[in-house]
Amino acid sequence: MVVKDRVGRSRYIAFEITSEKELRTGDLITSFKKAADKYDDAEKIRPWLIMFKKGKGIARCSHTARDECINLLQSIKSVGGTAVKTETLGTSGTVRGARRKYLEGREHEK
């Protein structure tokens, strides 16, 4: 069985950002866009921040550029003037799957 390569397919990357201060979503979006501007093929990656809450979030990207998007997320070292460390938790084909597999229930781990 052959699966056709659909242009609109996306991947959803769950991630966690640790920092000394609580981060604002607007500051993260700014840092996300600055990091994406450094890539020549940002149009191919099509990165987008889907959600961010309490240090955890989901980013969307093109299905063919998953690794580049993970590198982009991990290249973010500062958000709003605060040093941060980004850890990717996993990748899914749907937002719902990413939320269920990687974000729900992780609040109790720490």
Residue-wise pLDDT tens digits, 50-102: 999 989 999 999 888 899 999 999 999 999 999 999 999 999 999 999 999 99
Say if 110 falls within a structural domain: no
Say if 2 falls within a structural domain: no
Q: Sign of the C-alpha dihedral, residues 100, 101, 104, 105?
A: positive
Say if 5 falls within a structural domain: no
pTM over 0.75: yes
Number of domains in the chain: 1
Domain that holds residue 60: 10-95
Q: Kindly report the CATH number assigned to the domain that includes residue 35.
A: 3.30.70.3250
Say if 27 falls within a structural domain: yes
Say if 108 falls within a structural domain: no
Say if 109 falls within a structural domain: no
Beta bridge partners of 61: 11
Per-residue H/E/C for the chain? CCCCCCCCCEEEEEEEEEECCCCCHHHHHHHHHHHHHCCCCHHHHCCEEEEEECCEEEEEEEHHHHHHHHHHHHCCCEECCEEEEEEEEEEECCHHHHHHHHHCCHHHCC
> How confident is the model over 1-23, as pLDDT tens digits?
555 555 678 999 999 999 999 99
pLDDT band, residue 39 (cuts 50/70/90) = confident
Q: Which two tokens stand for residue 86?
A: 């980004």
Q: What is the pLDDT of residue 24?
A: 92
Q: Supply the DSSP symbol for 93.
A: S
One-letter amino acid at 69 equals C
Say if 75 falls within a structural domain: yes
Say if 104 falls within a structural domain: no
